[in-house]
Structure 1
């Protein structure tokens, strides 16, 4: 394994002056550069190290936006926290005089937080000084994140390896959608995720603010929208401005989504006159697609929408504005006699044409506000003008069709992180794969993509663990060269970035133990941890196939402490591969060690479940793991047990989770 990783890192970099010689130097290079995520476009490795001393300080020159001084100060504090050096420079300030400079940052001009801004940076680490230069402060901030990832240590202390990096993003739109409407997300949660986005060079937050389950934005002209449609959980306009400013300080654009005409129940609680059918309406507590829909035939609807969009346009300076447009099945339109008469009178053939009529009215409003319309791919209809953006969620076909027809587009199909698929599934999805049937002009219309964190099955305790670290893999796909596709290497680096993200306040690791302590009813969670580390939540919306979950259901059970990439399951698969490939005694012992832990764990888990009733539904799962481990040990001992009943039982979902080690044991049986 070590030799393979050495080859990978050497293949990914250029050697400065050809002066890496011998295995030791190669190993040093691997140690220093194997943590980078996203992988930069060009890395040149040299010999030597810049030693970080207590006198280390940062100087900024050129013409940056003032936000760079804040970013450099945060960089300094994070560096200090990692090294414990008590660096004397408290803040990086304009025009300050420094006795010693460790990092020089030079920026030509202030960057604009807008689509297509220059984000290129050049990082040079020499033995005596580190230099970071960029056209804009946005690029310089990306370079600071790369430099932090290069931090290394040896017996002499901390250092940055001598190197030169030239880097820029492959796609200009690298986003994360956060759904604050189904489950409300507090401001501090939004902020820490913005910090996580900046750490992996993402630059767009798409804020989903309305749904059947909640209208989350204060609207001063029509206050009943948020007062009656939110259960009191909404963002004031000052709070939304606070988020926009916080994001801009990190080089991140924020644009809102107000989903219409469907997914509109919360709009109608305070304003039933906007509905296609008479009310009253109540906030929806379940999950799914619901019928309440805005009435496209009423002028009052457009008056309210214009007022809402106008207030939001003053808060969100980004040029893009998302109107949703998805999953309108049109049942209430079909049932409303006045809507059917309207369609007949105007020659509107079906609900698709009616929604296009509605969207064109919205486009007129947005154009008056100097905004560009974004909508889910349902809005891609023959009569829509091409000055809108198509957000592809149902499949790549709509994105390709949009590009061919002259529309800009972004991709989210394949990046739905709420589906609880492993990072490898998302990592290999490319907005512009090599075999895509688009010419150069059409390719230029594909701006990038967004990970989507829909919030049906997350709460403020669990959402970080659903976003991170998998979204970092998507960030690399949208930043790095298309040739970067090694899944094993991605996982290795993802484990490192997961730990680094914790320093930003993200709770994807630490909340898990907290929730397990709650489930176990005490501090001893080892038996639960052993089980949780080999299971994953049901995927692709199967968790709620029985419609048992609602807004206030408990999201505190085994599927909520399970993660999409079960740590020990992934480790077990790697060990089995190594054992089957080599047959070495050490590899065999490693596999047997894991199987023995699982075989003996059930007795401890059963005792835990005796005093923790919430865990009892998982007892059959723990038994299945025990029997599966027993089967694997028997196979490794040369026995040929009857495996079919054990394997069949182990594949059955229990307590909304699935065991992820069945295939590994089956491979042992086939040996």
Structure 2
């Protein structure tokens, strides 16, 4: 009897341990990116008022700043008024609640060690890292796994060993097509650090503007920026801010195409003598530098030298994309030069141009990188290719011996869903590459081009989807569960908002503006199931929008990858496989809301005519929701459908597939599935 009793006690204790371990595991698995190796236990390190932090080893200043930010961010979340202030090099107690041990400060350069170990017991959190970069990443992981139970906040017991899969994990932010001021830059860098991105690609020269001060060529901003540019002191501030978060800053000056702003400021650079103005529309334009003039190389040598001194990173991006070559073709002097030097076509001329730039930038101790187009026969192997076209050309460049990184599939400005980006892998198993070839894939970069994005909306285009890309570039390739990714993406979205991202709160603000009042419910119901047109459909032909167009319309309030629409699609799929009553009620609830919302939306339009463009969306949503409700009745055997009903429903669904207000409905296919599931005798 005593043996049986003790066996039951041990079994119960085992169940408690397992439950605690599972809870700890679940808390850890809320993070993003997912760590490489995680072991959990039933420990709980409680967060109390006396929580303290210390740094030991040879860390460098960056870790003290990061530990201070971690302490403040933690206190802002738990509200306990920690006694400790800023962490300094006198805070070295090995008994601190959070002990950060770093072997040495890292250089901000490619292939630095970013690994870390995070160990949590009941009494202490220990971070151990070879470099300060690993310690910064560990602190972000720590903040992501903060947990709560009936007794308050705690960190679950874990032993995490983590390191990134790819060395180059970047985000390009274009500040030319629309101006992005300093506060946007800083909160973007904060978000990047939170999800362990480590390269900020600073795209500041375009047809529409040149956005960084040049003291040797001051007209670049005087004539090419219309008052919106970063001074060199502000650039240094950005670089320091990024460095403090373990992020490199790589500059891009796009040449020889996309150079209208440069040519307007210095017309002697032009291939064709004509009057130049900053481009007001978006797209690909003909103005191109004359790469047959020595003046062009003298100009670029001086400019690149100035910018190379300003930006300390080893890499310098020269663009090289989308040169139409038309101005070269229409220039008699350039054609004569090509004939004289045996240059067959524009591609060969651009290759010759790139070959001239390489020694210039090498002279300033920079490694050259550019877009796909710079990869032409004869280009030296020491350039880095950033691929925006991807596919076979990307892997062909790797096999030819070039180092490259992938942006294809990571163009977040194209409004594609997070799962699309998440499943794009720079080095998939489906591509046959040797180990040496795989090493030449540096990683990838998300790209935020700002044709249709302003400072008010840019965060909603970057976040939270870029966190999914960050996980693809950091975590193991086997981490591919889309449903779990979306679950965690909802959590990380709130953490990003804590850091100042406006991707959630600006949506409500813009809806109040569009509604011309505080009551936005009818608009919110509609916005929850629409998304802006994807890829390049919103500005088809590149003539509807220009740099002065209003970006406060319904397409700007609508965000990519709407959760309500995605959840509804999942509900329908689940119901058609297993028609549970609870799922049926959820589907019916959505459909009833959408059917009834049109009347309220039309009242809203009366006080806010700017919403007139969305009337067709609201009406179509109401109509197809009605057909969805009828389909549910038929599927439940409460009525008998007719062929006329199904034909009418099919026609309505087809009509609802058309766009309105530069948006489209995201629940059409799900309601169509319900209608198609109805069998007509």
TM-score, normalised by the number of residues in structure 1: 0.96
User: Does 2:569 match 1:563?
Assistant: no
Match of 2:7 in 1: none
SS of the residue 2:274 aligns to: coil
2:255 to 254, 260, 269: 260
2: CA distance, partners of 1:46 / 1:97? 27
1:617 to 602, 613, 616: 613
SS of the residue 1:108 aligns to: strand
Q: CA deviation at 1:437?
A: 2.0
1:123 to 111, 118, 139: 118
Match of 2:656 in 1: 650
Match of 1:393 in 2: 388
User: Does 2:274 match 1:279?
Assistant: yes
Match of 1:543 in 2: 538
- Superposed CA deviations along residues 450-469 of structure 1, whole A, max 9, x for unmatched, are 00000100000000100000
RMSD between aligned residues = 1.3
SS of the residue 1:259 aligns to: coil
> Quick one: structure 1 residues 485 and 282, their matched pair in 2 at CA, closer, same or farther if it must change by over 3 Å?
same
- Superposed CA deviations along residues 22-58 of structure 1, whole A, max 9, x for unmatched, are 7733652354123110000000011121111110000
Single out whichever of 493-502 and 20-29 deviates more from structure 2: 20-29
2:317 to 322, 341, 357: 322
Single out whichever of 22-31 and 237-246 deviates more from structure 2: 22-31
Conserved in 2, the CA contact under 8 Å of 1:57 and 1:98? Answer: no
Conserved in 1, the CA contact under 8 Å of 2:20 and 2:41? Answer: no
2: CA distance, partners of 1:615 / 1:97? 59
Match of 1:591 in 2: 587
Q: CA deviation at 1:436?
A: 1.1
SS of the residue 2:85 aligns to: coil
- Superposed CA deviations along residues 396-442 of structure 1, whole A, max 9, x for unmatched, are 22221111111110000000001000001100000000111211111
Q: CA deviation at 1:265?
A: 0.5
User: Does 2:463 match 1:468?
Assistant: yes
SS of the residue 1:230 aligns to: coil
2:47 to 41, 44, 52: 52
2: CA distance, partners of 1:389 / 1:31? 40
Q: CA deviation at 1:581?
A: 2.7
Single out whichever of 18-27 and 430-439 deviates more from structure 2: 18-27
Match of 1:65 in 2: 60
Q: CA deviation at 1:395?
A: 1.9
User: Does 2:658 match 1:662?
Assistant: no
> Quick one: structure 1 residues 23 and 525, their matched pair in 2 at CA, closer, same or farther if it must change by over 3 Å?
farther
- Within a 5 Å distance, the mapping from 1:263-662 to structure 2 comes to 263-546=258-541, 547-638=543-634, 639=639, 640=641, 641=645, 642-662=648-668
Q: Where has structure 1 moved over 4 Å in runs of 4 or more?
A: 18-23, 97-100
SS of the residue 2:188 aligns to: helix
Match of 1:8 in 2: none
1: CA distance, partners of 2:110 / 2:92? 35
1: CA distance, partners of 2:118 / 2:571? 38
2: CA distance, partners of 1:580 / 1:531? 25
SS of the residue 1:211 aligns to: coil
1: CA distance, partners of 2:600 / 2:25? 41
User: Does 2:106 match 1:111?
Assistant: yes
- Within a 5 Å distance, the mapping from 1:239-250 to structure 2 comes to 239-250=234-245
TM-score, normalised by the number of residues in structure 2: 0.95
Structure 2: where are the runs of 5+ without partners? 1-12
Conserved in 2, the CA contact under 8 Å of 1:257 and 1:324? Answer: yes
- Superposed CA deviations along residues 595-632 of structure 1, whole A, max 9, x for unmatched, are 01000000000000111011011101100000010000
1:132 to 111, 127, 132: 127
- Within a 5 Å distance, the mapping from 1:121-160 to structure 2 comes to 121-160=116-155
1:178 to 173, 179, 204: 173
2: CA distance, partners of 1:551 / 1:211? 13
Match of 2:30 in 1: 35
Single out whichever of 164-173 and 273-282 deviates more from structure 2: 273-282
Q: CA deviation at 1:232?
A: 1.2
Match of 1:6 in 2: none
- Superposed CA deviations along residues 305-344 of structure 1, whole A, max 9, x for unmatched, are 1111111111111100000000001000000000000000
Which one has a bigger Cα radius of gyration? 2
User: Does 2:185 match 1:187?
Assistant: no
> Quick one: structure 1 residues 193 and 664, their matched pair in 2 at CA, closer, same or farther if it must change by over 3 Å?
same
2: CA distance, partners of 1:279 / 1:101? 68
1: CA distance, partners of 2:658 / 2:192? 36
Q: CA deviation at 1:477?
A: 0.1
Conserved in 2, the CA contact under 8 Å of 1:363 and 1:373? Answer: yes
Q: CA deviation at 1:222?
A: 1.0
Q: CA deviation at 1:99?
A: 10
- Number of residue equivalences: 654
1: CA distance, partners of 2:649 / 2:609? 31
SS of the residue 1:637 aligns to: helix
Conserved in 2, the CA contact under 8 Å of 1:19 and 1:47? Answer: no
Single out whichever of 423-432 and 23-32 deviates more from structure 2: 23-32
2: CA distance, partners of 1:99 / 1:110? 20
> Quick one: structure 1 residues 83 and 193, their matched pair in 2 at CA, closer, same or farther if it must change by over 3 Å?
same
1: CA distance, partners of 2:484 / 2:324? 43
2:205 to 202, 210, 226: 210
1: CA distance, partners of 2:139 / 2:391? 34
> Quick one: structure 1 residues 21 and 440, their matched pair in 2 at CA, closer, same or farther if it must change by over 3 Å?
farther
Conserved in 1, the CA contact under 8 Å of 2:55 and 2:91? Answer: no
SS of the residue 1:543 aligns to: coil
Structure 1: where are the runs of 5+ without partners? 1-17
SS of the residue 2:54 aligns to: strand
- Superposed CA deviations along residues 535-585 of structure 1, whole A, max 9, x for unmatched, are 011001100015210001000001101111112101111222232232121
> Quick one: structure 1 residues 345 and 489, their matched pair in 2 at CA, closer, same or farther if it must change by over 3 Å?
same
SS of the residue 2:379 aligns to: coil
Q: CA deviation at 1:204?
A: 0.2
> Quick one: structure 1 residues 227 and 520, their matched pair in 2 at CA, closer, same or farther if it must change by over 3 Å?
same
